[in-house]
Structure 1
Amino acid sequence: MTLIITGVTAFAVTVIYMLMRRHSVDRCNSSHLGMLMLMYWGATLMWCVDGIASLAEDNPFVTLSDPAVVADDSALGLLVVFAGFFAWSAYLMVEALRARQRVAATSRNI
């Protein structure tokens, strides 16, 4: 389930990124949506590697038969999605502070 949740999220963010890029490149670059997209695709790749490692140990790639495992995997997938969103939000705040400092520094030099 973690692979499915992160994969769907990565695909959704990619679609949003492509639509924003088509309509406004400046707005897309200022939101750093590409970074969020790459974070989710990285998480999806990580879960794919985990699934391949499970196959190497003769376990199933994805376990959907046990409800407890599905619930745990779903919670982990949602945690990864929220953690990625919060990390991206923190990055946006740091970038906004840096931009504000650059503007303040150039206005003092004039």
Structure 2
Amino acid sequence: MTLLTSIFAAIICTVLWYRNDAENDMLLHIPVFMFWGASLMWLADAIFEYAKLGAEYFTPEPLDMLNDFYLGLSVIALGLVIWLVILLVKDPKGRIKTALFKNRE
């Protein structure tokens, strides 16, 4: 489930980046690379776990699937928080800077 969750997040971010961020305003390349990197990590984990468990890998317990799904959502949430912090620090559209200096005048 972690692999599927991160792949879906990577695909959604890639489509958004491809369609909407021609000027690189929202720095969407950051979550794209984070989620594709996470997907590659989970793929490697799945390969090694399959090598260890064999066919049992494809019949997980429901509780294990739920735990893996929560782990995948946690990874996505952490990636989005990191992206938002980078976005707020870099402030590519200058909105935070404008809001801060507008109040000083």
Instruction: Provide TM-score, normalisation by structure 2.
Output: 0.79
Task: Tell whether the 8 Å contact from 1:10 to 1:37 is kept in structure 2 after alignment.
Answer: yes
For residues 58-96 of structure 1, the C-alpha deviation after alignment (integer angstroms, 9 at most, x for no partner) is 345855531110110000000000000000000111112
Matches within 5 A, 1:6-21: 6-21=6-21
Letter in 2 for 1:67: P
The partner residue of 1:42 within 37, 40, 43 is: 37
Matched residues, percent identical? Answer: 29
Distance change in 2, residues 1:89/1:63 (3 Å):
farther
Letter in 2 for 1:16: L
The partner residue of 2:84 within 85, 89, 102 is: 89
The offset of 1:35, in angstroms, is 1.0
Task: Tell whether the 8 Å contact from 2:50 to 2:57 is kept in structure 1 after alignment.
Answer: no
Residue 69 of structure 1: aligned partner: 64
For residues 4-53 of structure 1, the C-alpha deviation after alignment (integer angstroms, 9 at most, x for no partner) is 011011001111111114xxx22xx1211011111000000000010111
Distance change in 2, residues 1:73/1:96 (3 Å):
same
Instruction: Provide TM-score, normalisation by structure 1.
Output: 0.76
Aligned with 2:91: secondary structure? Answer: helix
Q: How many residues were matched structurally?
A: 95
Distance change in 2, residues 1:81/1:14 (3 Å):
same
Q: CA RMSD in A?
A: 2.2
Task: Tell me the distance in 2 between the aligned counterparts of 1:74 and 1:14.
Answer: 21
